[in-house]
Chain A
Amino acid sequence: MFPQSWGVSILVSGRQIGDNMVATDWFDVRGAVSWLAEQTMDYTVGMTRFWEQKYWLSDFTAAFAMAAIIFVVTMLSVLGPVWMERKLIARLMDHRGSTIAIRSLWTGEGNIRVEWWKNLPFGIGIPIGWINGFLWNNFGNESSNPKVTQVGNRSYAGWWWALPGMINNFADFTKFAIKEHMPPRDADTVTYEVAPFIIISTTLLVFAFIPYGPTLYAANPDLSLIYMMAIFGIAPLGVFFAGWASNNKYTLIGGMRSAAQLTAYEIPLLVTVLGIAVLSGSLNIIEIAEFQMNSSEGSVWNIFLMPLGAALFLITMIAEVERTPFDMPEAEAELVEGWWTEYGGMRWGLLFASEYLRALAACLLFSLFFLGGWEFPFEDSLITIPIIGGIFEFIFQIIPHSIWLLMKAWLVFGFFIWVRASLHRVRTDQILEFGWRYLLPLSVVQLGLSMWLRLGVYDGGSWPLIVPALITLVSIVLFVVLVMDEDEDALAEQRRPYHVSEINKASPGARMNMED
């Protein structure tokens, strides 16, 4: 729609529209931003005697604007996982609490309300007051709407699908912002202050390279994959700093554990990612994503080509973002919060955000690498259906493709949450053993597989359909076989089986026969 900006710079773009681009729609943010920047510079700097500077100035402005836009998009899209975690955890754990908790923001009966928004500075709370008034008047407790006032259904929104609970996150951040910053007395001040910055800045920097859509990215160098993995891996350093600098034995232990764990899982992660790159033929994230699109021409989602790699990627990413079952470093039962115990106020808020941001980055990467990026499943095939195809085509042109990517990422995050609710925490030495002894060899195996696939099977343009089908089938069969494996010997000779021959009324000290 808008002409592409001219001039190729590392910051702005390395590609042109039309280079193997598959999915495109009106939602061309980059184009719009760079056009706007150009026009601005044309009519301001271009009219002065420094008009020769307008070229690099417009590029610079466009890049800066894109970075800001990506930042906002990231922050908004991280709200999704945070909200989803609360709701999904509530349902998995069978308590469903937060759905009703919106009531707690409007406390009081009748006309007594705790108007917390009035405490916000600069009057930014006033619109919240309007929202509150609207909700209270229309959906509040006293209402002629019987669905609302009936016993058992007294949230402000009478319907469970009205997504209550989103505002909680804003309230949370307000709370963090107004809390006191209390460094420990004997803490190593410089390191203590620097550590959160390292963690948070590297986390946010990762999002510069993650494309949200075909044109919604901040930077796209040719080797964006390597850049991103490198930056992703700086965070352990910050964690280590934080654990050390807080002058606290617990955080020290937490930092040590974290450093060991993150380092141990970087390697299988990198080898897996290498496998992806080999399979997709490029070290550029957008090209990897586009390698999987265009299903009518034989492109398949990578998850069907390397399911083992997908599983490995998921597991190593869960360990990288330190979620249960790998959250030993912040195990509350032993270390309270682990390496971030001594941080309060906004520092803690940003660390908390960075945990979710890293998780979101992991989910987005998974969707980009394995789930076909921003393509709707079977998009290209759906369009070719004779009559209904027109409708699909219309839908896919109206809805920006970024939405599909976000949906997939949030689904993967749902999987993360499901794992968190079900599994226990693994002990640190067991985590390390698992990473080094099991995941690393598997990832090397996966690398070999993807090399063979790319070099031996891929025929330059598309995948013959038999290949992904066979691979998926073999993986499922393998999974089922492994699951059904009831290790009878282990069961038999294990310390667990007991058969008690007879129980007699015993005196203290009498015990049963103990063999083995």
Chain B
Amino acid sequence: MAYHPRATPNFRNLVVRPMWITLRAALRTIPVIGPKLFSSGYHGKEAKMLDEKTANRIKGGDSDSRFYAADRETSHFVKSPSRPVTIMYPYERLEDLEPWLFVPNNYNGRIGVVWETCTACKACVRACPNDCLHMESEVRVNVLDMPDASDENLGLSTVEFMEGGYLAQKKEDFEDIENTFSLETAHESAPQQYDFAEIIDLSGNTASVRWQETGKIESVDLEGMIPAEQDIVSGRIDLGRCMFCGLCMESCPFNSFFMTNEYDGMSGMTRNDLWMDASRTRVLPVVHKEAVDRELAKRADKERSKRERAAKKASKTKQQSEDKPENAEAEA
């Protein structure tokens, strides 16, 4: 069971076994004959470590020229008997020598965001246990919906009314604001021209909303309302607080938030240096190609199905309108 058959404190165990083990470890380092004679079969033996997927992922594949051992004693380009286990950082990097350890999205490295697909939903901010993500966003009307646009361009934005989304109503003194506000004399920023509300419930042509300014909940008619969306103003992560748990990555519904393979380059002289903003957390979409493709496919599908429905509705109404005169003619 658990006992060892030779564990008695006698003369033999005084010097023989422990000293042989260490001597063998030392003799193993003799250049050519060491690993052959003194390895006991479990030192530096070659093992298959690299799987196909990882081999395809690493740049310049070429997995055949490397030798791997399960205990890393011979993981390098040229099998050298006196190669220590240490990786000579910064001249060598572990992700080059053992790429299966650094699979993108699997490794809890530094944060990276594909800002192109981020929608500022703030799910990551809510998910972080340490309060290290800060995101500033505001609700805006998409420019293609703004009343200043000419009629032919109006209504072509992709923003639409949805539950959890936003809508905007022109303020009553909209025209006054537009006409009377002068930036030179006002000495302050331009005021908002819309009242924004969060849509709680959507049914047909009416919605129950909560106005942002007053907090009142009421039911309004969607006629005359403009759909609005939340857009990101700025985002940053405080790496001084981050514990690299990965919850933010999992909470992103838009596949935009990743943990990259980076473990470097996160140092600074002051705490403010550790606040990484958009430019320092940018990740090239091509690095997380699969995830980005998935997200784009999702959105493209949604858009396509929307257009199909719209086309079907249009053809149906056209059909109806064609039927009506026919019916009318038929009746007449």
Contacts and interface: CB of A to CB of B under 8 A. Distances in A.
A and B touch in the complex (CB under 8 A): yes
Contact of B8 (A97, A482, A490): A490
Contact of B12 (A94, A486, A496): A486
B29 A151 contact: no
Interface in B1-54: 1-8, 10-12, 15-16, 18-19, 21-23, 25-26, 28-29, 31
A487 interface: yes
B90 A109 contact: yes
A423 interface: yes
A151 B77 contact: yes
Contacts of B18: 422-423
Interface string A397-423: 000000000000000000000110111
The residue among A151, A421, A423, A482 with the most chain B CB atoms within 10 A of its own CB is A151
A59 B90 CA distance: 60
A50 interface: no
Nearest to A415: B19
A96 B91 contact: no
Contacts of B29: 91, 96
A482 B78 contact: no
Judged by DSSP, the binding face of A is: loop
Given A100-B86, A421-B22, A494 B76 contact: no
A88 interface: yes
Contact of B82 (A94, A96, A482, A500): A96
Nearest to B74: A152
Contact of A483 (B11, B23, B92): B11
Interface string A63-98: 000000000000000000000000010011111110
Given A95-B84, A419-B19, A487-B8, A150 B25 contact: no
A18 interface: no
A491 interface: yes
A357 to B, nearest CB: 25
A141 B88 CA distance: 12
B12 A484 contact: yes
A96 B11 contact: no
B80 interface: yes
Interface in A477-506: 482-487, 490-491, 494, 496-500
B83 interface: yes
A491 B26 contact: no
Contact of A152 (B15, B16, B31, B92): B92
A296 B56 CA distance: 72
Contacts of A93: 22, 25
B78 A150 contact: yes
Contacts of A100: 84, 86, 88
B78 A152 contact: yes
A92 B91 contact: no
The residue among B26, B29, B83 with the most chain A CB atoms within 10 A of its own CB is B26
Contacts of B1: 498-500
A496 B5 CA distance: 9
A154 B88 contact: yes
B7 A96 contact: no
Size class of the contact patch on chain A? 35 or more
A154 B26 contact: no
B91 A151 contact: yes
A337 B3 CA distance: 35
Nearest to B91: A154
A498 B3 contact: yes
A160 B82 contact: yes
Contact of A88 (B26, B78, B84): B26
Contacts of A152: 76-78, 80, 83, 88, 92
Nearest to A88: B26
A487 B26 contact: no
Interface in B78-131: 78, 80, 82-86, 88, 90-92
Interface in A121-176: 141, 150-154, 160
A334 to B, nearest CB: 22
A491 B91 contact: no
B6 to A, nearest CB: 7
A319 B14 CA distance: 16
A97 B84 contact: yes
Nearest 10 CB-CB pairings of A with B: A91-B26, A422-B18, A92-B22, A422-B19, A422-B22, A483-B12, A94-B25, A92-B26, A482-B11, A96-B84
A99 interface: yes
Interface in B261-316: none
B3 A151 contact: no
A500 B10 CA distance: 26
Given A152-B77, A152-B88, A154-B88, 13 more contacts: A91-B25, A93-B25, A96-B84, A100-B84, A151-B77, A160-B31, A419-B19, A423-B15, A486-B6, A490-B8, A491-B5, A499-B1, A500-B1
Given A141-B91, A422-B19, A423-B18, A496 B25 contact: no
Contacts of B6: 486, 491
B18 to A, nearest CB: 4
Contacts of A483: 11-12, 16
B26 A482 contact: no
A151 B8 CA distance: 47
A94 B23 CA distance: 10
B77 A422 contact: no
Contacts of B82: 96, 99, 160
A381 B91 CA distance: 54
A84 to B, nearest CB: 12
Contacts of B2: 498
Contacts of B3: 496-498
Nearest to A489: B8
A266 to B, nearest CB: 22
A179 to B, nearest CB: 28
A485 B3 CA distance: 19
A68 B16 CA distance: 43
B77 A150 contact: yes
A100 B84 CA distance: 9
A246 B261 CA distance: 51
Contact of B84 (A99, A422, A485, A490): A99
A61 B12 CA distance: 55
Nearest to B23: A418
B90 A418 contact: no
Contacts of A92: 22-23, 25-26
Nearest to B20: A422
A157 to B, nearest CB: 13
Contacts of B12: 482-486
Contacts of A490: 8, 10
Contacts of B7: 496
A153 B79 CA distance: 11
A418 B8 contact: no
A418 B19 contact: yes
A487 B80 contact: no
A512 to B, nearest CB: 10
Contacts of A88: 26
The residue among A96, A103, A152 with the most chain B CB atoms within 10 A of its own CB is A152
